[in-house]
């Protein structure tokens, strides 16, 4: 019998030999020899390799099990500012649903309390007291006289028949009458309703800004012509018959632009700034045109219905708290009025600046459709006023702000002057049709200056945007209540016709 202990040294030697042979095999394999010829113990080598890899496989298996069992890792909460999560679409949808439900409740409460108050016939009475007398429309027709005076003056200036000083005096007189004539007519003619007067004054205000721009641009053209600079030209602001038929853009230079067709194209175009080179679209898109027309009709009906059904009852119920100076009830009425007033303002913005102006632009093939920018993202008051009404902003920048800066006025003074002019026109469009002067709109506009400084100085980002929205939601109904209350008091609060109008 052979003792088992006798095999121990031999086993060690064999293992050492196996290891050495494995190393030699590796060398031989690298030199190009075959594995079968270099390894006399293939089974022993395989078992040794498995024994060496077993601990590694075991560690990997344990790590995999640990990873499967682990449920925590280093991360921030989604609503934390340190988190990179930005998808809040569900929360936005929730806000919309809550807004719809809350306003639906208010609308149902209004119906249960007041019934159906929408009356299309009453809307007509807001514009006309007598269906056979249209004073506001006649006032708008008379505005053609001032348009023709401006065109005739420019033609005389282009031909050199009158001097620049005489032309300036004619323009000063013409533009002054454009503002004063409709104001006198509205104040002296009782048959013009407040709504009809506001509409006529709005047309004359737009005409004033257009004619002022027309004067400036043509004067710049004369100055360049006299300086022997290149003449300004434009593409199809007033296309000739030849250019329209051939599809080519005819370049028209000064004084070729002084025509009735060119003048009235500018009068009806959705812009306040005159140019000799208006961008033009290739054709009229009928589908786009009818969509805008449908929006105009639908949103106008919605504005009228919400005003009669929602705003008028709240305004009527606000008169007594205002007379008694009951501040708690006044605050409650103000907050009640804020929601429908802001909703109507948003509907008016979309209806006028998107639907109506795009309709006119498409009809006239007017190419520049930037009537507004992203004012809803405004983080400062200044950004809001620069982006919510682009035609007015461009006019103020081109014909008022930059000329003041070129004449040496400081930035703050120029900005204050722009706000002052805006405040004047706001008061002009409200006080004259109501036939009373309380300066609420003027003071509201001038208050934008310190408010703009405070928001820009102390509020940033979302806080600034919230301040802009708050000023819009709360500021407007305050002015509405002030004017309605004063109108109610001045025109005899015991008069049933006035109460019905309110």
From CA 461, how far away is CA 138, in angstroms rounded? 49
Contact 209, 395 (CB under 8 A): yes
Contact 349, 371 (CB under 8 A): no
CA distance 149 to 169: 12
Determine the Cα angle at 56 with ends 55 and 61, to 5°: 95
Are the C-beta atoms of residues 273 and 211 closer than 8 Å to each other?
no
Using omega within 30 degrees of 0 as the cis cutoff, is the peptide bond preceding 227 cis? no
**From 249, 342, 354, 426, the catalytic residue:** 426
What is the C-alpha separation between 430 and 487, in angstroms, rounded?
A: 11
Rounded distance, CA 215 to CA 218, Å?
6
CA distance 18 to 27: 14
CB-neighbour burial class of residue 234 (10 A; exposed 0-12, middle 13-18, buried 19+): buried
CB 126 within 8 A of CB 193: yes
User: What backbone torsions phi and psi does residue 106 show, to the nearest 5 degrees?
Assistant: -65, -40
**Ramachandran class of 247: left when φ > 0, alpha when ψ lies in -120 to 50, beta otherwise:** left
How far is residue 412's CA from residue 410's CA, in Å, rounded to a whole number?
Answer: 6
For the stretch 86-93, contacts whose Cβ atoms lie closer than 8 Å and that sit 24 or more positions apart, written own/partner, are none
Per the structure block, which two tokens stand in for 237?
């602001």
Q: Take residue 264 and report the two structure tokens written for it.
A: 């009235």
Angle between helices 164-188 and 135-142 (to 10 degrees): 180
Residue 184, SS3 per DSSP: helix
Residue 453: helix, strand or coil by DSSP? helix
DSSP 4: G
Query: What Å distances lie between residue 191 and 134, 185, 432, CA to CA?
Result: 9, 10, 14
Active site residue 72: no
Residue 237 parent element (H or E): none
Please give the positions annotated as active site: 426
């Amino acid at each position: 019998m052979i003792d088992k202990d006798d095999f121990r040294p031999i086993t060690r030697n064999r293992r050492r030999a196996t290891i050495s042979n494995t190393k030699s095999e590796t060398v031989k394999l690298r030199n190009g020899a075959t594995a079968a010829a270099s390894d006399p113990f293939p089974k022993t080598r395989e078992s040794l390799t498995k024994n060496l890899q077993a601990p590694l496989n075991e560690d990997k298996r344990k790590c995999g099990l640990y990873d499967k069992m682990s449920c925590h890792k280093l991360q921030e909460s989604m609503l934390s500012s340190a988190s990179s999560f930005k998808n809040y679409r569900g929360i936005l949808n929730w806000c919309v649903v809550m807004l719809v439900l809350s306003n639906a409740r208010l609308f149902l409460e209004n119906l249960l309390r007041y019934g159906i108050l929408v009356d299309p016939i009453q809307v007509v009475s807001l514009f006309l007291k007598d269906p056979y007398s249209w004073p506001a429309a006649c006032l708008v027709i008379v505005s053609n006289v001032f348009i023709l005076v401006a065109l005739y003056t420019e033609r005389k200036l282009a031909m050199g028949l009158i001097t620049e000083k005489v032309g300036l005096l004619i323009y000063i007189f013409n533009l002054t009458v454009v503002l004063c004539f409709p104001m006198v007519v509205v104040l002296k003619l009782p048959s013009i309703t407040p709504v009809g007067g506001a509409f006529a004054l709005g047309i004359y205000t737009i005409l004033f800004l257009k004619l002022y721009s027309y004067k400036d641009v043509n004067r710049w053209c004369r100055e360049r012509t006299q300086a022997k600079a290149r003449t300004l030209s434009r593409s199809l602001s007033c296309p000739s018959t030849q250019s329209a038929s051939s599809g080519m853009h005819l370049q028209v230079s000064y004084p070729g632009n002084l025509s009735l067709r060119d003048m009235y194209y500018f009068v009806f175009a959705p812009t306040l700034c005159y140019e000799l080179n208006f961008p033009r679209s290739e054709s009229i898109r009928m589908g786009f045109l009818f969509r805008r027309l449908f929006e105009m009709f639908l949103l106008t009906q919605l504005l009228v219905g919400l005003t009669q059904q929602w705003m008028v009852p709240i305004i009527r119920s606000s008169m007594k708290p205002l007379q008694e100076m009951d501040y708690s009830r006044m605050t409650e009425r103000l907050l009640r009025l804020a929601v429908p007033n802001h909703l109507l303002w948003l509907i008016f913005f979309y209806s006028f600046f998107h639907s109506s102006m795009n309709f006119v632009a498409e009809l006239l093939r007017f190419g520049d459709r930037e009537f507004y920018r992203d004012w809803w993202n405004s983080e400062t008051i200044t950004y809001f006023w620069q982006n919510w009404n682009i035609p007015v902003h461009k006019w103020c920048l081109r014909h008022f702000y930059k000329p003041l800066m070129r004449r040496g006025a400081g930035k703050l003074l120029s900005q204050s002057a722009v706000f002052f002019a805006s405040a004047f026109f706001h008061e002009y469009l409200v006080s004259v049709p109501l036939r009373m002067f309380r300066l609420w709109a003027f003071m509201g506009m001038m208050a934008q200056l310190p408010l703009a400084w405070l928001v820009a100085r102390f509020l940033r980002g979302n806080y600034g945007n919230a301040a802009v929205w708050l000023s819009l939601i709360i500021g407007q109904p305050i002015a509405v209540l002030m004017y309605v209350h004063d109108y109610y008091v001045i025109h005899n609060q015991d008069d049933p016709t006035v109460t019905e109008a309110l």
